[in-house]
Amino acid sequence: MNDRDYINDVLATEKYMTSSYSIALNEASHDQLYQDLSTICNETQQCQRDLYNMMFKKGWYGVEAEQTQKLQQTQQQFSGYSSQFPYNNNSNMPMQ
The continuous run of DSSP H or E covering 66 comes out as none
Residue 36 has pLDDT above 50, yes or no: yes
Establish if 86 belongs to a structural domain.
no
Residue 89 has pLDDT above 60, yes or no: no
Q: pLDDT > 70: what percent of the chain?
A: 91
pLDDT, tens digit, 9 for 90 and up, residues 11-33? 999 999 999 999 999 999 999 99
Number of domains in the chain: 1
Establish if 93 belongs to a structural domain.
no
Gap between the Cα atoms of 2 and 15, Å rounded = 20
Establish if 87 belongs to a structural domain.
no
Residue 88 has pLDDT above 70, yes or no: no
Owning domain of residue 36: 3-64
The continuous run of DSSP H or E covering 13 comes out as helix 3-27
Establish if 82 belongs to a structural domain.
no
Establish if 47 belongs to a structural domain.
yes
pTM of the model: 0.65
Establish if 83 belongs to a structural domain.
no
Which own/partner contact pairs does 42-49 have at CB distance under 8 Å and 24+ positions apart? 44/14, 44/17, 44/18, 45/18, 47/14, 48/11, 48/14, 48/15, 48/18
